[in-house]
A and B are shown apart, each in its own frame.
Chain A
Amino acid sequence: MNRESCQRYLEDPEANASHLAECAECRALAESLELKVEDRRPRLSAELPLAPWEGAGHRSWSLVIAGAVVVALIAAFFFMATGSSPLRVLANLPSADVLISTLRHIGSAAQNAPASWQVIVGVLFVVVNAIFVALLRRAPRGIDV
């Protein structure tokens, strides 16, 4: 038993907690007293505002599944009520050939448009894209997450 280290432990048990590992008497004393060290660290996190990233990683699969099922069921009900189906709606969409043909038509129309239209489009193209680039140069304002 080392009296000096035991004395130091008795004066400040928290700072000299490692002493318990080397001194059986002090360990027995501490166990008999059932000392409970109070956590006096300041709880800053509770006082600070909630940060955007706190709890962000949580995945509520139950909410996702519930939401998806409800939306799908209501959509299916409406399809059944109208006697239609999503495939029939998709079949009515223009095919790739029609889209390409339409693009070709629009391309030829652009070249056959009146000169005033073409000048206006050209000027607007330059002006709008200049504003676009100027707006893109601004740095985001949102704080770090």
Chain B
Amino acid sequence: MFKRVLVPAMAVAAMLAVMFVVLPAGAVGNDRAIRSRQSHDRYAFGHDTIISSAVAGSVQAYGGSIDVRDVIDGDLLVFGGNVTFSGRGRVNGNVVYAGGRIVNGEGRIGGQAYPLASIGGAAASMTKTAVVLSLLFVWLVAAVVVTLASGREVRFSSIEIRASALHCFVLGLVALTSFVLTAIMFSYLVPYLIGIPLLAALAVFAILTKIYGMVAVFHAVGTLIAGARTHEQLASRKWLRGDVAMVVVGVLLLGAIRFIPVIGAIAWSAASVFGIGVALATKFGRREPWFLVWRPAEA
């Protein structure tokens, strides 16, 4: 049944997906309106751009800054560069930017300016501390819930981090890169109906992987710092014992480290990489293989 139906169906689906990517002219449906609107769009890849005449559509820049000297009727997206307004420069839509800043943008943006950073990064410095602390509270609650729901799995993943840290880190880095590249590949399908659900599914999977992995990292850190080493030590403790306690200690420790400038961001990012790596290395603590080896049945 599997070989007869599922494999050919998947092959056909894969070929169709590749055709959609390779032949974007095949897009139909509501996308006509988008395409006609986007025909005035301008794109810049890997270099700085000056908008010296009015643009009827949107402008996007990847890996370069934008100098807006005239009106952009649509949105402005800038990744890896600054947005500078001068002269008649104005954006009637939204400005979405990452890895840069907006210069002289007061009163020149018709919509809103969205920095595509973390929630904490979007806030001002004093508020940022409060936001980071609020997120830490959310992490604490999530970590306790996940540990209560699947303590054995979290414990196993925590042991795996300590048993093969390098493998978890490398797997985490590769997985992150794979998520980004897969998202780019899926973004080719955005003009079609399937694109956004695929991207949403990828985002949900990545977020769940990060949440579970971070809980495992919290457990590992808590156990390394505050875990009991002997039976006597364990018997003498009232609070500092058990999976939940180790996770809470880990959250509080990593949360405190996060407030150290530069080092905190690096430590939290490294924890995320470790977390994603260990979540995937242990299949969310279930210790099942991701791929089964197919062997023909013997008579």
Contact = CB atoms under 8 A, between A and B. Distances in A.
- A and B from one complex: yes
Interface of A: 45-46, 50, 52-64, 67-68, 71-72, 74-75, 78-79, 81-82, 84, 86, 89, 92-94, 98, 100-114, 117, 121, 124-125, 128-129, 131-133, 135-143, 145
B181 A108 contact: no
Given A52-B155, A82-B126, A140-B281, A45 B43 contact: no
B94 A98 contact: yes
B159 A52 contact: yes
B184 A142 contact: no
B19 to A, nearest CB: 14
Interface string B278-292: 001110000101110
A108 B38 contact: yes
B50 to A, nearest CB: 19
A56 B221 CA distance: 15
A59 B242 contact: yes
17 contacts: A45-B231, A50-B229, A56-B151, A60-B239, A60-B241, A93-B119, A102-B75, A102-B77, A103-B199, A106-B190, A129-B181, A131-B174, A132-B178, A135-B170, A142-B163, A145-B152, A145-B156
Interface string B155-197: 1110110111001001100110110011011011111000110
A49 to B, nearest CB: 8
Interface in B115-150: 116, 119, 122-124, 126-127, 129-131, 133-134, 136-137, 140-141, 144, 148
B122 A92 contact: yes
B240 interface: yes
Given A50-B231, A108-B41, A128 B133 contact: no
Is chain B's interface secondary structure helix, strand, loop, or mixed overall?
helix
Contacts of B73: none
Contacts of B164: 140-142
A58 B242 contact: yes
Interface residues of B, number: 90
Contact of B137 (A75, A94, A141, A143): A75
Contact of A128 (B177, B238, B243): B177
Interface of B: 24, 34, 38, 41, 43, 45-46, 58, 60, 62, 75, 77, 94, 96, 112, 114, 116, 119, 122-124, 126-127, 129-131, 133-134, 136-137, 140-141, 144, 148, 151-152, 155-157, 159-160, 162-164, 167, 170-171, 174-175, 177-178, 181-182, 184-185, 187-191, 195-196, 199, 223, 228-231, 233-234, 238-245, 248-249, 251-252, 255, 280-282, 287, 289-291
Contact of A121 (B174, B184, B189, B243): B184
Nearest to A129: B178
Nearest to B234: A55
A100 B30 CA distance: 14
Contacts of B249: 63
Given A136-B171, A140-B282, 6 more contacts: A64-B248, A101-B94, A107-B190, A107-B191, A109-B77, A140-B164
A85 to B, nearest CB: 9
Contacts of A108: 34, 38, 41, 190-191
A93 B151 contact: no
Given A60-B248, A82-B130, A136 B151 contact: no
